[in-house]
A and B are shown apart, each in its own frame.
Chain A
Amino acid sequence: MTDPKQAITEAEAIEQAKQGHEAAFEVLYHLHKRRVYSLCLRMVSNPAQAEDLAQEAFLQLFRKIGTFRGESAFSTWLHRMTVNVVLMQLRKKGLPVVSLEETLEADDEAPRKEFGTKDVKLTGSIDRLQLQRAIDRLPPGYKTVFVLHDVEGFEHNEIAQIVGCSIGNSKSQLHKARLKLRDYLKFMRAEKAKTG
Chain B
Amino acid sequence: MTCADVERVLPELIDGAPDGALRTDFEIHLKACSACSDLVSDLKLIASEARQLAATEEPASRVWVRIAAELRAEGLVHDQASEQDSWRTRPVLVPASPQSRWSAWWLVPVAAALMAAASYVVSHKSVPQVARQQAPVPSVTSPTTATPAANAPSVPAPSPQQLAQRKSPKPIEVTGPAVGSVVEPEPSAEDQQFLSEVSTRAPSMRATYENQLRAVNADILETQAYVDRNPGDVDARQHLMDAYQQKALLYQIALDRIQ
Measured CB to CB, the residues of A under 8 A from B are 1-4, 20-22, 25-26, 29-30, 33-35, 37-38, 41-42, 47, 50-51, 54-55, 58-59, 62-63, 110, 119-122, 125-126, 128, 131-132, 135, 146, 150-153, 171-172, 174-175, 178-179, 181-182, 185
Contacts and interface: CB of A to CB of B under 8 A. Distances in A.
B12 interface: yes
A178 B43 contact: yes
Contact of B51 (A153, A171, A174): A153
B79 interface: yes
Contacts of A33: 58-59, 63-64
Contact of A38 (B54, B62, B91): B54
Given A119-B35, A126-B45, A175-B14, A1 B67 contact: no
B71 A22 contact: yes
B68 A26 contact: yes
Contacts of B242: 1
A58 B67 contact: yes
Contacts of B56: 38
A132 B53 contact: yes
Interface string B41-71: 1110111011111111111101110111011
Nearest to A110: B7
Given A37-B59, A128-B49, A151-B50, A171 B67 contact: no
Contacts of A110: 7
A174 B55 contact: no
A122 B45 contact: yes
A29 B64 contact: yes
A62 B67 contact: yes
A178 B7 CA distance: 13
Contacts of B41: 121-122
B46 A131 contact: yes
B67 A150 contact: no
Interface size bucket, B side? 35 or more
Contacts of B39: 119, 182
Nearest to B47: A150
A26 B76 CA distance: 13
Contacts of B59: 33-34, 37, 50-51, 54-55
A146 B94 CA distance: 34
A107 to B, nearest CB: 14
A33 to B, nearest CB: 6
Contact of A122 (B42, B67, B145, B238): B42
Contacts of A3: 145
B78 interface: yes
B42 to A, nearest CB: 4
A172 B74 CA distance: 42
B95 interface: yes
Contact of A1 (B50, B71, B76, B95): B95
Given A38-B54, A128-B53, A179 B43 contact: yes
B9 to A, nearest CB: 10
A131 B35 contact: no
Given A37-B58, A182-B46, A20 B10 contact: no
Nearest to B53: A151
Contacts of B54: 38, 151-153
